Chains A and B, each alone.
Chain A
């Protein structure tokens, strides 16, 4: 990927489980409503390529990335935390160090409200991660306010407009996932977001 596709791509690094899906969808939709193409590890739809290769391809093929660390907490009977997201944030930070000028990688980290993150990933304290309460309605303003200030952007939909359209996006993507047995082609999902965003203008 090069040129405009790279310059306007945002790799979204979030959990993929059903509980997180409403938040993931909200980030995908908000990204589209800001005029960026959302990307994620499952976009190619192929399981033949190892997940880590897909993630690396996504991060290296996108100028921007969004990393949600809100699930870095003990889960299940063994209270194990998932560390995929911090690992992938590390790749994005390395990518930033490798790039220069207008190709310099930039990233947004999302963490739970409060100062808890400073206990489990204190090195992030100097980067001012965006805090949200785990709901789609609180993540949308964080994503829009960050993307709206990128130099590629002239205008975006506003957070209220994104949130107003979000239930329709949820309905249509739910139907799309049902028809494709949970794995719809990524461009079709993005097209739903684009159609809805355009409908508001």
Chain B
């Protein structure tokens, strides 16, 4: 199994340790930007890595706004998971008090403390990867209500700005 890891630049050391811990469990894990060289399109390089991956693990840390590269990683993850929801496993990991971007809330997230050890997280991820894949979550009734309200606001905003 191949897994890609997305994390903020400041957490790459943690992610490398997590990748090593996953490797001990038979998962070939690497950073989503691995082998993407300067001068080429980051997005194109990430998309290339995503194509060959089975699992896409998006680590969202608190106190760390998403970097430009991390946002590109999430976009590539989303597009791949939307296109092949039955096979591409997108697993958001909320570290500490982080808030998931709305688009990533459609997948079951793992929530872990800020001081989580890479080995412990690798175990949790290994369990998730062994379990049958349930795919994307349906919107709840309250989420649908909120989205409906937002669409109604779009009508009002369109009248104001035109």
Residues of A whose CB lies within 8 Å of any CB of B are: 1, 4-5, 8-9, 32, 35-39, 43-45, 61, 115, 125, 128, 130-131, 141-142, 144-146, 148-149, 151, 153-156, 158-160, 185-187, 190-191, 193-194, 197-198, 201
Contact = CB atoms under 8 A, between A and B. Distances in A.
A96 to B, nearest CB: 13
A38 B157 CA distance: 9
Contact of A145 (B39, B79, B139, B152): B79
Contacts of A193: 154
Contact of A190 (B74, B82, B106, B155): B155
> Would you call the interface of chain B mostly helix, strand, loop, or mixed?
helix
Interface stretch (B89-97, B114-122, B143-151): B143-151
A186 B155 CA distance: 10
B131 interface: no
B146 A186 contact: no
Contact of A154 (B71, B147, B148, B157): B147
Contacts of B71: 149
B155 A43 contact: no
A5 B83 CA distance: 32
B101 A4 contact: no
B20 interface: no
A156 B143 CA distance: 10
Contact of A125 (B41, B79, B106, B144): B41
Q: Which 7 A-B pairs have the closest CB atoms?
A: A148-B103, A190-B158, A37-B157, A35-B150, A154-B102, A128-B43, A186-B162
Contacts of B152: 194, 198
A187 B147 contact: no
Interface in B67-115: 71-72, 74-75, 78-79, 82-83, 101-103, 105-106
B154 A35 contact: yes
Given A141-B83, A187-B162, A197-B151, A8 B103 contact: no
Given A37-B161, A155-B143, A187 B155 contact: yes
Contacts of B78: 145, 148-149
Contacts of B151: 32, 35, 194, 197-198
A149 B105 CA distance: 11
A35 B157 contact: no
B126 interface: no
A141 B161 CA distance: 26
A88 B146 CA distance: 34
A158 B75 contact: no
B156 to A, nearest CB: 8
B134 interface: no
A115 B39 CA distance: 12
